Structure 1
Amino acid sequence: MANNNPIGLFDSGIGGTSIWKEVHKLMPYENTIYLADSKNAPYGNKSKEEILSLSCKNTEYLLNQNCKLIIVACNTATTNAIKELRAKYKVPFIGIEPAIKPAALHSKTQKIGILATKGTLNSELFHKNLEKYQDIQIIEQIGYNLVERIENGFIDDNEMFKLLQMYVQPMIQKNIDYLVLGCTHYPYLIPQLQKIVPAHIKIIDSGEAVAKQTLHVLEQQNLLKRNQTAPTLQFITNGNPTIISNILQNQYTVTFKDF
């Protein structure tokens, strides 16, 4: 039965596990397959064509595993490829967009910062979304080298702290009161960011909103798993399995496959 089929998620590496955690928290009985294309990380500095080609490859792998819904757990892949994926494949897709809307709605200073990859900030979809917020000053910053460092396990070292300071300090000086994390890798940097960002600045990401939207679409399409049996949770990577294992606190088996 399709209801028991897994939810598929893919990302350019380990970042989308931040989305997976929210999905699993909200829907603990759902079977999931998480696909980490770490071999090709980061997507953020690739061309639109390359990102689309990789996104199709990942989608087809997940469809071959009978996934009932696919979460594009990567901001860069969403902003550059989701329109084409929806046109090409019949499965429902959930995309990830930077959480600009809640930040813009609640900002008191009318100034919000966004830290994201070059691929996201340069995308057509991102710029289209920005047009809705003419009254808000949005300070953009590309997170050069952040994804690479996270992928290599350097999340809380001194070098990472210095990079984050360099990227975020100018935003703080411009009086932002929201910092939007526009990459699924970046929630893993929140403990570091909290040491830099004053307490009145709220740091937000898309994880919870994506989980809620996934639940909504599964309910709408009558695809929710019907029984509360223990789920099958698969993690597949074409990179170093140890990195994902560590990020998941070694609670789950991570399989290496050169897909």
Structure 2
Amino acid sequence: MQNNNPIGLFDSGIGGTSIWTAIHNLLPNEDTIYLADSKNAPYGQKSKEEIIALSIKNTEFLLNQNAKIIVVACNTATTNAIKELRAKYDVPFIGIEPAIKPAAINSQKHVIGILATQGTLNSELFHQTAEKFHDTKIIEQIGHGLVPLIENGEMNSPKMNELLHLYLEPMIAANIDYLVLGCSHYPYLIPQIKKILPKEIKIIDSGEAVARQTKNVLLERNGLNNEKNVAKAIFYSNSDPKVLKDILNNKYEVITKDF
């Protein structure tokens, strides 16, 4: 592993930038390459075979950019494809899956909610994780329509507000005390979600945990970049880059490329 090679990340679109932000904050010396496969978003409605094929395509792109480690910054891709990716490539992979464990362990009411894509909730990995906490009632909700709205920059739209009320009110009625965000796009909805949820319901996403795990794996492999240079961040998109640029506050260039 070359220490000064970049960390690669991919997602079905802009959502994984929430993971990128956490990694960049924790590891400011590391160069990063982020791939937004927005042309194929959302992954949550696709078959397992399609998700694996897209994940391989994205991985190949990042490996061609000399990525030393690949962060699958997408819950759906992690839960459906990371086993195949790890079997196929020597590079280490960091996955992102719904943070059921901290929610279930800390829940006082033993009732938690999870808002995720259909692909994540239907996956074998999700069910294996959920089964470990059989004493906790898990209210599952597919976030139909949320990712396309986020990808279109409609995070504060009336339609988004309507869908969030539709998905969250049954969870509130079920008396949850933790809400797990099971898609890397969803942290961008936290301001709207907080307006709907009672204050005592805590929200958990996976960003900081993924960043810590990325650092730990690089430490184990002596792969951290210890140079004090200003880190480079390169962003690629195969769709209209406007929303990605907006999410990044126009601080970074977004390269539009078909992949």
Q: Same fold (TM over 0.5)?
A: yes
What's the offset of the Cα at 1:214?
Answer: 0.3
Q: Which residue does 1:122 correspond to in 2?
A: 122
Check conservation: 2:241, 2:256, Cα contact below 8 A: yes
Question: Any idea what the Cα deviations from partners look like across 1:168-215, whole Å, max 9, x if unmatched?
Answer: 000001100000000000000000000000000001100000000000
Q: Please provide the CA RMSD for this pair.
A: 0.6
Question: Any idea what the Cα deviations from partners look like across 1:195-245, whole Å, max 9, x if unmatched?
Answer: 000000001100000000000000000000021100110000001111100
Q: Which residue does 2:219 correspond to in 1?
A: 219
Question: Any idea what the Cα deviations from partners look like across 1:21-52, whole Å, max 9, x if unmatched?
Answer: 00000001100000000000000000000000
Q: Which residue does 1:88 correspond to in 2?
A: 88
The answer for unaligned runs of 5 or more in structure 2 is: none
Check conservation: 2:29, 2:226, Cα contact below 8 A: no
Q: Which residue does 1:172 correspond to in 2?
A: 172
Counterpart code for 2:243: I
Q: Which residue does 2:135 correspond to in 1?
A: 135
- Paired with 2:140 and 2:239, the residues of 1 have a C-alpha distance of 30
- Paired with 2:169 and 2:28, the residues of 1 have a C-alpha distance of 38
Q: Runs in 1 of length 4+ with deviation above 4 angstroms?
A: none
Check conservation: 2:69, 2:92, Cα contact below 8 A: yes
- Paired with 1:157 and 1:151, the residues of 2 have a C-alpha distance of 12
Q: Which residue does 2:250 correspond to in 1?
A: 250
Q: Which residue does 2:203 correspond to in 1?
A: 203
Counterpart code for 1:151: E
What's the offset of the Cα at 1:102?
Answer: 0.5
Q: Which residue does 1:37 correspond to in 2?
A: 37
- Paired with 2:232 and 2:174, the residues of 1 have a C-alpha distance of 47
Q: Which residue does 2:157 correspond to in 1?
A: 157
The answer for unaligned runs of 5 or more in structure 1 is: none
- Paired with 2:181 and 2:228, the residues of 1 have a C-alpha distance of 33
Counterpart code for 1:24: H
What's the offset of the Cα at 1:157?
Answer: 1.3
Kindly report which structure 2 residues correspond to 1:47-62, keeping only aligned pairs within 5 A, or say none. Answer: 47-62=47-62
Normalised by the length of structure 1, the TM-score is: 0.99
- Paired with 2:95 and 2:34, the residues of 1 have a C-alpha distance of 15
- Paired with 2:128 and 2:98, the residues of 1 have a C-alpha distance of 12
What's the offset of the Cα at 1:115?
Answer: 0.1
Counterpart code for 1:130: A
Question: Any idea what the Cα deviations from partners look like across 1:97-155, whole Å, max 9, x if unmatched?
Answer: 10111000100000000000000000011001111001000000000000000001000
Q: Give the percent of matched residue pairs that are identical in Structure 1 and Structure 2.
A: 67
What's the offset of the Cα at 1:158?
Answer: 1.3
**Within the alignment, does 1:239 sit opposite 2:239 as a pair?**
yes
SS at match of 2:43: coil
- Paired with 1:128 and 1:98, the residues of 2 have a C-alpha distance of 12
Q: Which residue does 2:101 correspond to in 1?
A: 101
Counterpart code for 2:192: Q
SS at match of 2:162: helix
Q: Which residue does 2:76 correspond to in 1?
A: 76
- Paired with 1:126 and 1:102, the residues of 2 have a C-alpha distance of 15
- Paired with 1:167 and 1:28, the residues of 2 have a C-alpha distance of 36
Counterpart code for 1:173: A
- Paired with 1:241 and 1:178, the residues of 2 have a C-alpha distance of 34
